[in-house]
A and B are shown apart, each in its own frame.
Chain A
Amino acid sequence: MTTVQTRILYSLGDACVLIGDLAAQLQLPRDQVGQAAALLIGRGLVERVERGCFQLTDAGRAVVARGEVIETGVTGPNRALRKPRRQSIRQRAWNAMKIQRTFTIQALTTAVSTAQDGDVEENLRRYCSELCKAGILSRSKRREPGTAPGSNGYAVFTLARPLGPLAPVYSRARQAIHDFNSGADLPCIPN
C-alpha cells in the first residue's frame, strides 16, 4: 500500500505546488496533506518555499529517481534541541541570573527553588559550570565565605553575556550551549 508521503513525493516537482492543488490532485483532505508534507520536510526530502507551497529538495529528487517508497514510522533518534520550558528550574534560574547579575549557587537556589523541586542546587551547579565553559558566565576569584568549619566558601559568578529571555540549553551531543534567542551554538571550552 502506497503511503500518503510517497504519493505526495511523487506528485511534486521542481516548481512549488500549493497544498490545495496537492489535496485536489490526490483527493485527500488538506490537513492530511499538510501533516504528511511536514514529515517529508523533517526527512529533508521536501522544502517549504513559502506558506502552504512545497517542492522537492535534491535528496527528494534522488529518492524519486531511485523509485523508493517512503515507509512511515520512526526515522531515527530525535536530535532536536528541546526549548526550555517556561517554568523550568533552569529558565527560572536564567531569569534570576539576569536580575542579580552577580550571584552564588546558594543565592540562585534560594531565589528559584520551590517545595516541588528536587535537588535544585546540584542542577544549578552543573548548569552554571556549562555556562562558564561557553563564556556566558564568569567565575570570580573571590569566594563568599561559608560558615561551616573547613568550608571552601561559595563560588561567585557574574553574568558576562546576558543573552535573550529564553534560557540557553546545554547540548552534550554538540558540546555546546544553544541559544534559542539567536539560534546560535556557543561551543563549550573545557577549563
Chain B
Amino acid sequence: MKPVFVETRNYNVFLEAIDELDDRGSDERRLIIVDGLPGLGKTTILSRWAANESCIYLRGKSEWTSYWLMAELLTESRQQPDEIVSLPHGFEARFGACLAMLAERRRAASAIGAQFAVVIDEADYVSAKSKLVDTVRDLADLSQVPFILVGMGKIRANITRHPQTASRIAKYVRFEPADLDGVKQFLREKCEIAVAPDLASFVHRTTGGFNRELLGAIKSIERFGYRNPPPGEGMTLRDMAGQHLINDRQGQPISVPAIAMVARA
C-alpha cells in the first residue's frame, strides 16, 4: 500500500470548517463537532491534522473527569515529561495552569501564522458528562482556543442537551461514506495494483465506502495482484473471481463472485 494520505471529501469538508473558524475572529463560538460512524477515517484525518499543525491531541477515556482531562492537557505540553514534574493540585490552580498554557501555545502559533487547537478524540465520553462539557466550554471560552470534539453518532445529541454549550458550536462536520468516485480515487492513490472500474464498483458496494474496509480490500487486491499481475488496464472482477476481499463487520468473509457469476453479471 502506498504510504500516501488521500485527501478525501471528508478531509476537505473538515478543512473548510477550520478555515471558517479562522474567519470568525473573536467570535466566542470556538467548538467544532466532528462525528460519523466508526471506520470513516475520523481519527486518521484529525490526528494527521493535529500532527502537522502541532496541535494538542487527546483521546477521551471512559472514566475521564475534568481534573484528569486538565492533567492530560498539561502533560501534553510540559517540557520534561520524563521527570517527576508535579502538576498543580486543586481544580482552580490546574484550571489556571491550563489557561496559561493554552494562551502561550496560541500566542506561539499565531506568531508564525499557524493554527492551534485542541483535538479531543472519542469525545462521546466527554459529551456524556455535564461537568466535562462545562469544563471544555470554559477552557474554550476563556482561552479563545478552538476545541474540536470528535466522536460517533451520540455526540451531537448529547451536546444539544446543554444549550449553553450547543450555542458555542461553530460548526458540525458529519463524516460520510465515500461515493463511487471517492472509492476510485482512494484505490488509485493508495493501491499499488491498478484496479479496473468493475472491481472498483464491487469494492464500493461491499465496503460501503468505509475507509477501514477499503484498506482491507486494498490489502487483498495487492496480495493477489502481486502474485497474479493483471494483464490489461488493471485488476478486474474476472481476474479476482472467487478471491476473498474483506470481512464484514460481523466477521463474515466477503469474496469476489465466482467466475460464472461474474460472466452472468
A: residues with CB less than 8 A from B are 86-87, 91-93, 95-96, 98-100, 105-107, 109-114, 120-121, 147-149, 161-165, 181-182
| B1 with A147: CB separation less than 8 A | yes
Given contacts A147-B222, A147-B223, A182-B79, 12 further A-B contacts (CB under 8 A): A95-B52, A99-B50, A100-B47, A105-B3, A112-B52, A113-B4, A113-B5, A147-B1, A161-B82, A164-B80, A165-B76, A182-B80
Contacts of A96 in B (CB 8 A): 47-48, 51
Contact with A along B216-233 (1 / 0, CB 8 A): 000100110011000000
**The 7 residue pairs across chains A and B that have the minimum distance between CB atoms:** A147-B222, A109-B3, A96-B51, A95-B51, A181-B79, A164-B79, A106-B3
The smallest C-beta distance from B150 to any residue of chain A, in angstroms, reads 12
Contact with A along B1-22 (1 / 0, CB 8 A): 1011100000000000000000
The smallest C-beta distance from B46 to any residue of chain A, in angstroms, reads 9
| B51 with A86: CB separation less than 8 A | no
The smallest C-beta distance from B110 to any residue of chain A, in angstroms, reads 13
The smallest C-beta distance from A145 to any residue of chain B, in angstroms, reads 9
Q: Name the interface residues of B134-168: CB closer than 8 Å to any CB of A.
A: none
The listed residue (A86, A110, A113, A181) touching B80 by CB distance below 8 A is A181
The smallest C-beta distance from A144 to any residue of chain B, in angstroms, reads 11
Q: Does B77 contact A (CB under 8 A)?
A: yes
Q: Does B84 contact A (CB under 8 A)?
A: no
Q: Name the interface residues of B62-86: CB closer than 8 Å to any CB of A.
A: 76-83
| B219 with A147: CB separation less than 8 A | yes
Tell me the complex Cα distance, A112–B76, Å: 19
The listed residue (B44, B51, B83) touching A112 by CB distance below 8 A is B51
| A148 with B226: CB separation less than 8 A | yes
Can you list 24 A-B pairs with a CB-CB distance of less than 8 A?
Answer: A86-B114, A95-B50, A95-B51, A98-B57, A98-B76, A100-B47, A105-B3, A109-B3, A110-B3, A110-B4, A110-B48, A113-B4, A120-B3, A147-B222, A148-B192, A148-B222, A149-B226, A163-B80, A164-B78, A164-B79, A165-B77, A181-B80, A182-B80, A182-B82
Contacts of B243 in A (CB 8 A): none
Q: Which residue of B lies closest to A149 (CB)?
A: B226
Contacts of A165 in B (CB 8 A): 54, 76-77, 79
Contacts of B3 in A (CB 8 A): 105-107, 109-110, 113, 120-121
Q: Does B112 contact A (CB under 8 A)?
A: yes
Contacts of B5 in A (CB 8 A): 110-111, 113
| A163 with B81: CB separation less than 8 A | yes
Q: Which residue of B lies closest to A180 (CB)?
A: B79
Tell me the complex Cα distance, A105–B44, Å: 15
The smallest C-beta distance from B173 to any residue of chain A, in angstroms, reads 19
| B81 with A162: CB separation less than 8 A | yes
Tell me the complex Cα distance, A110–B57, Å: 18
The smallest C-beta distance from A164 to any residue of chain B, in angstroms, reads 4
| A86 with B54: CB separation less than 8 A | yes
Tell me the complex Cα distance, A149–B52, Å: 33
Contact with A along B33-54 (1 / 0, CB 8 A): 0000000000010011011101
Contacts of A110 in B (CB 8 A): 3-5, 48
Contacts of B48 in A (CB 8 A): 96, 110-112
Contacts of B82 in A (CB 8 A): 161, 163, 182
Contacts of B112 in A (CB 8 A): 86
Contacts of B47 in A (CB 8 A): 96, 99-100, 111
The smallest C-beta distance from A23 to any residue of chain B, in angstroms, reads 30
The smallest C-beta distance from B245 to any residue of chain A, in angstroms, reads 14
Contacts of B51 in A (CB 8 A): 92-93, 95-96, 99, 111-112
Tell me the complex Cα distance, A106–B222, Å: 16
CB-CB under 8 A for A92 and B57, given A147-B222, A147-B223, A147-B226: no
Tell me the complex Cα distance, A182–B82, Å: 9
